[in-house]
Chain A
Amino acid sequence: MNLPSGTLLAQSALSGLFIGGLYGLIGLGLGLSWGLLHVINLAHFGLAFLAAYVCYQLASVGGMDPLATLAIVVPLCFALGVAMHALLMRFRVSPLNSLLATFGITAIIEAGIQSVWTADFRKLESSYAAQKFRIGELFLPLPELLTLAIAVALAFGIWAAMRYTDLGKAMRALAEDAPVASAFGVNARMHALLLAGVCGALAGVAGVCLALTYTLTPAQIYAWVGVVFAAVMLGGLGSPLGPLAAGIVIGVSEALTMAVASPSWAPIVSFTILIALLLVRPGKT
């Protein structure tokens, strides 16, 4: 096997870093929902894609700046996140059943997207896409850079909020022991709905980032599931920074695999890392 040149490897690692940031961004809301709300929300992916399509629609057809669509997409996704969690709470759905129910919701979202935007590929053409920075021989495309910056900022922002604000502490207390937290005056229902809304909003931001960089098609929803879940499980449930770090590790390993072997082998990487980690440190995950 011929090893590719150093520049190619560096460029691959860089693109791995960028896609890893997106894994982390999608995984952020997913992990919070799983760790703190005990809802394994497959519909997080559906919501992100819905946000991506709405962004595409507003920017391509409506002529808005893609980043400005956040002002519409984020509140919309917040509301959808709250509504969905209210439904799950109303029926006291167990974690495993939440996986099933959100699986169903994802199928509905997918069908909805397909009936509005068809199964054809859609690509957002924006002024951002063409802009690239150059460092030496390496290219840094602006949309990817933006995604990584947003992912890092949100992860650290939520980490700080959970650590230093009363609201964040209340959330962690509820996740640990809801009855006791309630006895100390924390309104469990309101906090859960708020957190679900935040997770929805995070899916919205992730969706806009998706639309900036990637070609969209409804079936792609499921392509992200395995990798992002791997990032969440490796990074730790409910941890804001873990999924980002794990996502970047996975992203870079995938990108290097693509450069060294062949692009079509990439899907195996995250799964292998996950299994290997399970075997090496079984207690942790």
Chain B
Amino acid sequence: MPALRLPAFYESFLYLVLHWIVLATSWNLLSGYSGYFSFGHGAFYGAGVYTTAVLAGKMDVPFAWTLPAAALLPALLGVALGAIVFRVRNVRGELFALLTLAVTFVLATIVLNTPIDGGPGVYLSAVAVPSLAPTASGSFYLMALALAVVTLAIAYAVTKMRLGVGLFAIHDDEDAAEVMGVPTYRYKLVAFGLSCGLAGLAGGIQALFVSYVTSNGTFNITVPLTVVLMSVLGGTRHWAGPAIGATVITILLYASTAADQAVAGKAVVGAILVGAVLFMPDGILGLAVARLRRMRAAASSIAQAPPAYATRLPATAAPRARTGEPLVVVRGLRKSFRGVRALDGVDLDVREGEILGVLGPNGSGKSTLINVVSGHYRADAGSIVFAGRELLHLRAHRIARAGIARTYQIPRPFAHMTVRDNVALTAMFGGEALDPGEARAQAGEWLAFTDLAARADALPGDLNLHQTKFLELARALASRPRLVLLDEVLSGLTPGEIDEAVELIRRIRARGTTIVLVEHVMRVVTALSDRIVVLDQGRVLAEGLADDVMSRREVAIAYLGTVHA
């Protein structure tokens, strides 16, 4: 143990720095990584403070025994609150921030009105401080140090785990993340629970440190304001960002309050927050990481010849025979939007190994079909059986795991992840659970397959439309799906690029993947598809072999209006 033999003052100051590092880093676990800003961190911290205060101060439980409770109670509170609010699709960032802010005042009211406190505050002056060091301040320093190390280790480990990758994807595009197989609801709950538990622990130690706790002193706006500020200043997308921010702010705050100017201190914190949000919304570490990436990208574009590993693609999607057995059986599928029947009883089969072209005029329900099958929307009625399994009531990430991948008509890459990490994400969360290292290696191979290897370290925003569309394809393929739903992958491409894409789609099918192709470019659909289904006004109008279907009278009417022939 690094027991510094410093004067008590320094030990107490270091305690404060470490205390804020724990609070800011724990806040960042949910809020920084996933973008769900909690303004209620003070509430969960406060729950920890009062757990220890009541157990140790009023019920004479030894201090060390109160700490597990101080972690558990806030964690349970957080999970319970999350279980309610994360279920609601509309509770996204802003609403979550305000709901959690309200929790602070609710907890304060409860504490103040019940025997938990009742008004006078709780004294812990009679509680024995564990003697880890010769002095009390030394013991506090060591406790905070241990907790800070644990918290930072957790924050680091999470970024290296699937959990962290999933949270970052939620930050960028939660719906797309869910469709790519990220269990968004569970991940948010886990992160929230961890975040609240660690804050509660910090609160438990703080209760003994201050030895007298009051409702007003605990449940106020200072804790959330300060942790948000620290994390935003340091950089919320990096595990170490909040710790850096916490160190800087604690020193700054100390310097300004030391001169008996608490009011000025508050103004300074406010001004730094405004400045940080306006001038460097990505924080200190965000800036540094971006600069590093640019340097690395510049270096790699010179040094790297595209590696020729397209041949060692993972063989897991073992080329399945084109058995012609139905892989997907859709019956009576209905979906309405405020009375508009987008799908009005659709029946169709997709056979194993085929390319099924889906055609139809605008508004005929093509995209809705893909959105319902992939779980992006929930159907009103009907059934979708995929490989013998009913999908209708599964959440989107379960459908992805079952082996269905999709592309979006308007590409929805995760904006803050590199091209490689975008692809690695679906490799990680798709059919088989890979660990992040393997997933990144495989991602490289899928990028080679789609000719994007040279752009692996770029951000999606730096790609052109053609490359972005191919990135959508690479992402869909990386989960090694049995069925790929392609939603107008060719729209907006030049004729030359379309030919390239057609070639790519042929190669995908050659690997044994079944494809549903929603497309407007007629020559492509007829060239690629084994069979064609025509939708009109939410119903199947015609189904059959390509040439046969297109020459039918009702199809011509749907496309061109009345036929005078």
Contacts and interface: CB of A to CB of B under 8 A. Distances in A.
Q: Do A and B come from one complex?
A: yes
Interface of A: 40, 87, 91, 93-97, 99-101, 103-108, 110-112, 114-115, 219, 222-223, 225-226, 229-230, 233, 262, 264-268, 270-271, 274-275, 278-279, 282-283, 285
Interface of B: 35, 37, 84-85, 87-91, 93-95, 97-99, 101-103, 105-106, 108-110, 112-113, 220-221, 225, 228-229, 232, 263-264, 266-267, 269-274, 277-279, 281
B38 to A, nearest CB: 12
B95 A103 contact: no
Contacts of B94: 40, 95-96, 99
Nearest to A285: B90
Contacts of A229: 98, 101-102
A264 B109 contact: yes
B263 A114 contact: yes
Contacts of A87: 278
A105 B274 contact: yes
A101 B277 contact: yes
Contacts of B95: 233, 285
A267 B271 CA distance: 30
A101 B93 contact: no
A46 to B, nearest CB: 10
Contacts of B264: 111, 115
5 contacts: A100-B273, A104-B269, A108-B274, A219-B220, A270-B102
Nearest to A108: B270
Given A96-B37, A107-B267, A223-B105, 4 more contacts: A100-B228, A114-B263, A278-B84, A282-B89
A225 B272 CA distance: 22
A101 B278 contact: yes
Contacts of B113: 262, 264-265
A107 B225 CA distance: 9
Contacts of B281: 94, 97
Contacts of B91: 278
| 5 A-B pairs with least C-beta separation | A107-B270, A104-B273, A111-B267, A104-B274, A108-B270
A93 B277 contact: yes
B125 to A, nearest CB: 27
B27 to A, nearest CB: 13
Contact of B228 (A103, A108, A274): A103
Nearest to A94: B281
B81 to A, nearest CB: 9
Given A103-B228, A264-B113, A226 B90 contact: no
Contact of B273 (A103, A111, A282): A103
A104 B277 contact: yes
A111 B263 contact: yes
Contacts of B278: 87, 91, 93, 101
Given A99-B94, A274-B99, A106 B105 contact: no
A107 B105 contact: no
A96 B94 CA distance: 6
B273 A107 contact: yes
Binding site secondary structure of chain A: helix
A94 B92 CA distance: 14
B267 A108 contact: yes
Contacts of B270: 103-108, 110-111
A115 B37 CA distance: 30
A40 B278 CA distance: 15
B273 A115 contact: no
A95 B267 CA distance: 23
Contacts of A94: 281
A225 B225 CA distance: 14
Contact of A282 (B90, B221, B269): B90
Contacts of A114: 263, 266
B102 A271 contact: yes
A223 B271 CA distance: 22
Given A115-B263, A222-B221, A271 B97 contact: no
Contact of B105 (A101, A111, A226): A226
A264 B112 contact: yes
B282 to A, nearest CB: 11
A101 B89 contact: no
A225 B106 CA distance: 13
A278 B97 CA distance: 15
Contacts of A91: 278-279
Contacts of A40: 94
A265 B113 CA distance: 7
A101 B273 contact: yes
A279 B277 contact: no
B109 A107 contact: no
Nearest to A226: B102
Nearest to B281: A97
Nearest to A100: B277
A268 B277 contact: no
Nearest to A38: B94
B418 to A, nearest CB: 22
A49 to B, nearest CB: 14
Contacts of B112: 264
A268 B106 contact: yes
A162 B278 CA distance: 31
B101 A107 contact: no
A121 to B, nearest CB: 15
A144 B106 CA distance: 26
Nearest to B113: A264
A100 B232 contact: yes
A275 B84 contact: yes
A59 to B, nearest CB: 25
Contacts of A103: 225, 228, 270, 273
Contacts of A101: 273-274, 277-278
A205 to B, nearest CB: 23
Given A91-B278, A104-B271, A283 B90 contact: yes
A236 to B, nearest CB: 12
A170 to B, nearest CB: 25
Nearest to A106: B270
Contact of B37 (A99, A112, A222, A223): A99
A226 B101 contact: yes
A271 B106 contact: yes
Contacts of B98: 226, 229, 233
Contacts of B108: 267
Contacts of A275: 84-85, 99
A80 to B, nearest CB: 14
A233 B101 CA distance: 14
A108 B279 CA distance: 18
A169 B98 CA distance: 29
Contacts of B228: 100, 103
A229 B96 CA distance: 12
A114 B267 CA distance: 10
A97 B277 contact: yes
A107 B232 CA distance: 16
Nearest to B277: A101
A110 B273 contact: no
Q: Which of A107, A112, A279, A285 has the most CB of B within 10 A?
A: A107
